[in-house]
Amino acid sequence: MGAPLRLRRWAKRLGLAFAVIAGVLTAPIVWIEAGCRSARDAAPGAPPALVSDEPGYARRESDSYLSYPEWHIVYAYEDLAGVLREGDESDFAYGSQIAGFWRSFCALNRVVTARGGTGLDTKVMLYTIGWSFTAELGIKAAYEKTAGRLFEWLRGPGKTGEDAFAARDLAGYAAFLHQTPWYEYPFGARVAAFWREAGWGGGRWLRKLERRAVFTAEYGVKAVYGWLIGRASQTALGAADLEIKTVVTGLAAEDVARDSRIRVVRSLGGGRTLILTPRYQAYTDLVVDLARRGRNVDEIAGNRRIFATVLAFGARPPAVAGMEVLFALPVQSRPGWQRVGLDGAVAGLAAAIRSLEASGAVVEHVYDY
């Protein structure tokens, strides 16, 4: 009688545990898919014809908006690196970063559902990285706010070589993510460099050993997970398309000579030129530079709407004609600054960039498709 009773109790406990895990995993999906949707916009008449009919030119508009959640993770690492320049891991607002991911995802999902939604593959990817990000920062918060804080206290003021190396490497990792997928980061090589370069001098052995264990464990897990994700991405999706086509008005020969990353595809007449450029952060740098030089953008990958983020100081997001504020999130490492998500017309993007920079805002990223 005793053994069957114990088995039933364990079965109930396992069932409860699975129910809790299932609830945690499905809660964001239910919230986003049920509570963060908009009615489909009316679409009178046919959409305007594309400026260019180049093969492979047009891409999904929703990809501009739903590429932000991935970048939110990049900015979270960047923010943590900024905090570590002066502070410690226990000072970071992990919960705010998790909430910011889901809040921004919610706001952006309202936009894309109003305009027709997006592919299932994109949603599956976003929920997967959202869960991973939430779990990672949740674990970090649980440790760094308790045991990590205790080791900080035992260490005393100042930082060990291990603290300094981890802070530098995190800054390098954040910069790496601006142009390259996270799973290509050389985690294994960085662990080897950590043990080789952090140094054993300076005393404070408890903190030194604790940081070595934490750094090695975190990067070790990421090395294995990253290898698996990289293989899966190559198998399922193939190599990422690293270039994008844009229609620019007023492009001059000196613009092309100034930046070798700009390749002219062909002239479209009326002062418009179709160009081919890199994507990701390089694309933002190019568009911002062209806007500063007085050039304008007519169409990007067949799209007339675009999402961008700016960094702005002050409690109120900057007001820009033709741009709608979708969300504003504080930047912990830059007190008083916030990251503002803006939705606007591609045709007004260059003018908006000029206006934002004139107001003191920093154009952080233009999200390509």
The whole-chain average pLDDT of the chain stands at 90
Q: What is the DSSP string of 48-106?
A: PPPS---TT----THHHHTTHHHHHHHHHHHHHHHHHTTS-GGGS-HHHHHHHHHHHHH
What percent of the chain has a predicted confidence (pLDDT) above 70?
Answer: 92
Higher pLDDT among residues 230 and 168, named by residue: 168
Measure CA 72 to chain center. 3
**Average pLDDT over every residue of 205-232:** 94
- pLDDT recorded at residue 55: 79
Q: What is the pLDDT of residue 277?
A: 96
Residue-wise pLDDT tens digits, 336-347: 999 999 999 999
Task: For residues 73 and 115, give the distance between their C-alpha atoms in angstroms, rounded to a whole number.
Answer: 25
Distance separating alpha carbons of residues 202 and 165, to the nearest angstrom: 14
Residue 49 confidence (pLDDT): 72
DSSP state of 193: H
For residue 297, list its beta bridge partners: 248
Residue 236 is predicted with a pLDDT of 57
Q: Does the structure show a pLDDT above 90 at 286?
A: yes
Q: Name the pLDDT band for 62 (thresholds 50, 70, 90).
A: very high
Higher-confidence position of 44 and 305: 305
Q: What whole-number distance in Å separates Cα of residue 232 and Cα of residue 234?
A: 6
Q: What DSSP line would sit under 10-33, residue for residue?
A: HHHHHHHHHHHHHHHHHHHHHIII
pLDDT higher than 70, residue 158: yes
**Token digits for 226?**
């990253």
- Residue 276: per-residue pLDDT: 96
Of 300, 350, 296, 352, nearest in space to 322 by CA: 352
Buried b (16+ CB within 10 A) or exposed e, 36-73: beeeeeeeeeeeeeebbeeeebbbbbbbbbbbbbbbbb
**Does the pLDDT value for residue 11 go beyond 70?**
yes
Assigned token pair, 364 = 């952080």
- What are the percentages of helix, strand and coil residues in the chain, rounded to 5? 55, 15, 30
- pLDDT tier for residue 85 given thresholds of 50, 70 and 90: very high
Q: What residues does 305 pair with on adjacent strands?
A: 345
Grade residue 251 by pLDDT with cuts at 50, 70 and 90. Answer: very high
Q: Average the pLDDT over 265-285 and give the result.
A: 95
As a whole number, mean pLDDT of residues 177-203 equals 94
pLDDT of residue 117: 77
Entry pTM: 0.89
Q: How far apart are CA 343 and CA 64, in angstroms?
A: 10
Position 212 confidence tier, pLDDT thresholds 50, 70, 90 = very high
pLDDT of 119: 81
Range 227-254 burial, b when 16+ CB lie within 10 A, else e: eebeeeeeeeeeeeeeebbbbbbebeee
Per-residue pLDDT at 240 exceeds 70: no
- pLDDT tens per residue, range 293-327: 999 999 999 999 999 999 999 878 788 888 999 99
How far CA 223 is from CA of 137, 189, 213, 237, in Å, comes to 17, 10, 15, 20
Query: Which among 287, 303, 299 is positioned nearest to 255, based on CA atoms?
Result: 287
What pLDDT is attached to residue 317?
78
Greater model confidence, 232 or 212: 212
Q: Mean of the pLDDT values across residues 74-82?
A: 97
pLDDT digits (tens, 9 = 90+) for 88-129: 999 999 999 999 999 999 999 999 999 887 888 889 889 999
* Residues 249-268, mean pLDDT to the nearest whole number: 95
Distances in Å between the Cα of 336 and the Cα atoms of 66, 87, 150, 324 are: 26, 17, 29, 21
% of the chain surpassing 90 pLDDT = 72
Q: What is the DSSP letter of 303?
A: B
Q: Map residue 351 onto helix, strand or coil.
A: helix
pLDDT at 7 over 80: no
- Inter-residue contact 31 to 106 (CB < 8 Å): yes
